[in-house]
């Protein structure tokens, strides 16, 4: 079932973390943050919404990083129930697609809960001061990739945040698979 997160809560603070990456290193928010802004995205391996845009995510992440924007991806899905989202499979996905950003595993799901992540993909775009300025979709894609020339909404928003410190007033929420929470 598709899930859409709430609209952007402009100015909400980011949340620090210490999570293991697919490269075996431990990452904090400071390790991922960029000098002109930071994108924290919640993704996973098996979600068709993520799969339809993963190559575009990789392309845009490289361009954002070149513009001084930090990029980090986090998977918080319950790997016991969804083994394809476990750390070994995450490493294979990062290698296969040539991720230029850390791909982290939130096994306890505390980080996803702190951010209020609801679906994959769920994008949180912060300015250099750590204030939320974007919580919208990547582009017009859904379970199937949109047209190759689809407006790059996330990319444009992050460049605007890097330039002005403010995100666009109008944002279309992301849509994707629900985060696979562990049983309480």
Q: What is the pTM of this model?
A: 0.96
Task: Using the predicted structure, report yes or no on whether residue 2 has a pLDDT greater than 80.
Answer: no
pLDDT tens for 122-177 read 999 999 999 999 999 999 999 999 998 999 999 999 999 999 999 999 999 999 99
Kindly state which CATH superfamily the domain 2-178 is placed in. Glutaredoxin (3.40.30.10)
Q: Quick one: pLDDT at residue 6?
A: 83
> Are 139 and 153 spatial neighbours (Cβ–Cβ below 8 Å)?
yes
- What is the radius of gyration, based on Cα positions, of the chain? 15
CB 71 within 8 A of CB 162: no
* pLDDT at 5 (0 to 100): 85
């Amino acid at each position: 079932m598709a899930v859409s997160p709430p609209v952007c809560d402009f100015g909400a603070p980011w949340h620090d973390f210490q999570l293991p990456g697919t490269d075996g290193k431990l990452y904090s928010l400071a390790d991922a943050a960029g000098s002109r802004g930071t994108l924290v995205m919640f993704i996973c391996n098996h979600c068709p919404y993520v799969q339809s845009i993963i190559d575009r995510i990789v392309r845009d992440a490289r361009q954002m990083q070149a513009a001084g924007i930090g990029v980090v991806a986090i998977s918080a899905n319950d790997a016991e129930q969804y083994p394809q989202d476990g750390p070994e499979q995450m490493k294979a996905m990062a290698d296969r697609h040539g991720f230029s950003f850390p791909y982290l595993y939130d096994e306890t799901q505390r980080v996803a809960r702190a951010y209020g992540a609801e679906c994959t993909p769920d994008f949180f775009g912060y300015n250099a001061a750590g204030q939320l300025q974007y919580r919208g979709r990547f582009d017009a894609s859904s379970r199937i990739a949109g047209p190759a020339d689809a407006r790059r909404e996330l990319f444009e928003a992050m460049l605007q945040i890097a330039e002005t410190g403010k995100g666009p007033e109008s944002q279309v929420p992301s849509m994707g698979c629900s985060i696979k929470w562990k049983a309480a």
